[in-house]
Amino acid sequence: MPEMGDRRVISIVGPTASGKTSLGIELAQALQARGQKAEIINADAYQMYRRMDIGTAKASAAERAAVPHHLIDIIEPSDTMSAARFQKLARECIASLQAKGIRPILVGGSGLYARAATDDISFQGTDPAVRSRLERRAETEGPGTLFEELERKDPQAAATMDPHNVRRTIRALEVIEITGHPYSASLPRYKYVIPTVQIGLDLDRAFLDEHVDLRTAQMRQEGLVEEVRALRGQMSVTASRALGYEQILEYLEGKLSEDEAFALIARKTKRLARKQMGWFGRDPRIHWLDAMAPDVVTQAMDLIERADAGELSASDDGDVQPSVHHLGEIWR
């Protein structure tokens, strides 16, 4: 059995509705059966909000009783969670668990949050005055002018960005002005600062779409409308934009029928899954498993043992360049 210092943090990633929560719990129980304590750290941005339960598909009370979960229900819906804030909380939680001899298992579909916990990522501050000025320029001069400015100031960053993503262009120029350094210098690298093994759950696209439809119907049956109605007027801008909550708010405001709202939730969830796979597919360190394989837990445990023993590829620990995994292409 590997010493505690050799045990990797486990990070389970993949698209929404692929079974990450179930795998996290089963792995924790399998490790426990082998004499290793393991607990789950939530890496889903919206599951951190209290009373936002149905729409975020939180682990049930029974699941949380079976395996302790951390960073769930830690802020009010009126508050705002950010990747920078999560990074601090997650790293403190990882260190605390490891100090007690407990292996952390990160679980979540928020790619940036999962990487913020374990990767070489720093988050730059903001300056409302600088951002407001750039936003006004985007309105008066057009977003194209700002992107051309970014191309002159930081061609490396511009080459990786969508010229039509005005918000990201503004953010890049804001960071350049605040720090005096290229925005590309602050971009995350595929390099762990906390030794980790990433396990990705892959699911056939058509089958995942069926899962999304079933989950959306289940949320409707479980009372998502009532949940959102109870939270109405208490949610921050960030919380109110959560997938599912934004659409039900539109229904409650009379902009959509209930059927239209749930159809839109399902459609947007499927679109999100495709974006998530594009995001995760670029990370060469993720070890992909078939989510529907009957021995998926056994396969995952084998990966964990090999990672602890240092038997996986060098790309798991090195400062590697992003590449597009075949999943990233298939899911586009």
- What's the average model confidence in pLDDT over 161-185? 90
User: Where in the chain are the domains?
Assistant: 4-121+189-330, 128-186
pLDDT at 5: 59
- Mind giving me the DSSP string for 187-219? S--B-BSS-EEEEEEE--HHHHHHHHHHHHHHH
Q: How large a percentage of the chain has pLDDT more than 90? A: 78
In this prediction the pTM is 0.85
Long-range Cβ contacts of 162-168 (<8 Å, 24+ apart): 166/138
pLDDT higher than threshold 60 for residue 169: yes
Q: What digits encode the pLDDT tens for the residues 71-103?
A: 999 999 999 998 899 999 999 999 999 999 999
The token duo for 227 is 């949940």
Specify the range with the lowest mean pLDDT, choosing from 24-28, 29-33, 240-244, 308-312: 308-312
- Give the model's confidence band at 162: pLDDT under 50 very low, under 70 low, under 90 confident, else very high: confident
Q: What digits encode the pLDDT tens for the residues 248-306?
A: 999 999 999 999 999 999 999 999 999 899 889 889 999 999 999 999 999 999 999 99
- What's the average model confidence in pLDDT over 172-192? 87
Beta bridge partners of 38: 103
Q: What digits encode the pLDDT tens for the residues 199-236?
A: 999 999 999 999 999 999 999 999 999 999 999 999 99
Write down the residue that tokens 């409707």 correspond to: 220
Residue 268 DSSP code: H
Beta bridge partners of 69: 40
Write down the residue that tokens 């837990």 correspond to: 297
Q: What digits encode the pLDDT tens for the residues 3-60?
A: 555 799 999 999 999 999 999 999 999 999 999 999 999 999 999 999 999 999 999 9
Report the CATH fold assignment for 4-121+189-330.
Rossmann fold (3.40.50)
Strand, helix or coil for residue 78 = coil
Q: How far is CA 101 from CA 36, 119, 282, in A?
A: 8, 22, 32
Hey, do 4-121+189-330 and 128-186 end up sharing a CATH topology, with the first three levels equal?
no
- What's the average model confidence in pLDDT over 155-177? 90
pLDDT higher than threshold 70 for residue 138: yes
- Give the model's confidence band at 329: pLDDT under 50 very low, under 70 low, under 90 confident, else very high: very low
Report the CATH fold assignment for 128-186.
Histone, subunit A (1.10.20)
pLDDT higher than threshold 60 for residue 106: yes
pLDDT at 227: 98
